[in-house]
Chain A
Amino acid sequence: QSVLTQPPSVSAAPGQKVTISCSGSSSNIGENYVSWYQQIPGTAPKLLIYDNSERPSGIPDRFSGSKSGTSATLDITGLQSGDEADYYCATWDVSLNTGVFGTGTEVTVL
């Protein structure tokens, strides 16, 4: 049972924008950086965003992250069929003393 809550699914048409929320608390998101991962079914997760809003080399700027208080958000603009995947947020929880991942969100391109 994760302490970071994400919507189970979001969807939009190609070219549109989706926003994925990650809701936590003062002991996790409120205290630490958030990262985001994309997992295409059958493959390993891939880092999309680190330190709340930084993109690793090779990640297009269609992916952007932000954090405010105890919540974080991942935006995907110019949605493409290749963006269909599960997306997870992650951070450290100082109360549980462990790394925590979000519940995951399935993105569907209509």
Chain B
Amino acid sequence: QVQLQESGPGLVMPSQTLSLTCTVSGGSMTTGYYYWSWIRQHPGKGLEWIGYVYHRGSAYYNPSLESRVTISVDTSKKQFYLRLTSVTAADTAVYYCARRPNWYFDLWGRGTLVTVPS
């Protein structure tokens, strides 16, 4: 059974770069037609889609974050990555990685809280 697990630092200083990894276990990243996605949830708030990457490397981002976001993939390691530059306290959130077969997310990681102090 395919599972996703986020990892990365829980604290990032303002103006620095947030870097997270999502590791895929129990299955292949290249079988099927999946988009590997990142979603975040601000404390006590709703969900915000960040972007996705296809296993061949093409990526697409939320226009509101596009200038600061990079999502990449390494299928040999069965990992995909989120990089968010110039973070502020407004980027404090739980970050989820998820698998997207079409326009829905069928598998989610447990999430990781990233705090940017103000």
Residues of A that sit less than 8 Å from B by CB? 2, 32-33, 35, 37, 43-47, 50-51, 56, 88, 90-92, 96-104
Chain B positions within 8 Å of A44 at CB level? 96, 108-111
Contacting pair A101 B103 (CB below 8 A): no
**Nearest CB to that of A2 among chain B residues?**
B46
Contacting pair B104 A50 (CB below 8 A): yes
Contacting pair B102 A46 (CB below 8 A): no
Which residues of B from 84 to 106 have beta carbons under 8 Å from A? 96, 102-106
Contacting pair B104 A51 (CB below 8 A): yes
A-B contact count (CB 8 A): 57
Q: Does B47 contact A (CB under 8 A)?
A: yes
Interchain CB contact (< 8 A) of B47 among A33, A45, A51: A45
Contacting pair B108 A45 (CB below 8 A): yes
Measured between C-beta atoms, what is the minimum distance from A89 to chain B in Å? 10
Q: Does B74 contact A (CB under 8 A)?
A: no
Chain B interface mostly helix, strand, loop or mixed?
loop
Contacting pair A101 B108 (CB below 8 A): no
Chain B residues with a Cβ closer than 8 Å to the other chain, count: 17
Measured between C-beta atoms, what is the minimum distance from B24 to chain A in Å? 15
**Nearest CB to that of B6 among chain A residues?**
A44
**Bound Cα distance from A104 to B46, whole angstroms:** 6
**Nearest CB to that of A48 among chain B residues?**
B104
Interchain CB contact (< 8 A) of A47 among B49, B104, B109: B104
Chain A positions within 8 Å of B63 at CB level? 96-98
Interchain CB contact (< 8 A) of B103 among A2, A35, A45, A56: A35
Contacting pair A33 B102 (CB below 8 A): yes
Q: Does B28 contact A (CB under 8 A)?
A: no
**Bound Cα distance from A96 to B46, whole angstroms:** 18
Chain A positions within 8 Å of B105 at CB level? 35, 37, 45, 47, 90
For the complex with contacts A2-B46, A44-B111, A101-B47, 10 further pairs of A-B residues with Cβ separation under 8 Å are A32-B103, A43-B110, A44-B110, A45-B105, A47-B105, A51-B104, A90-B104, A98-B64, A99-B62, A103-B46
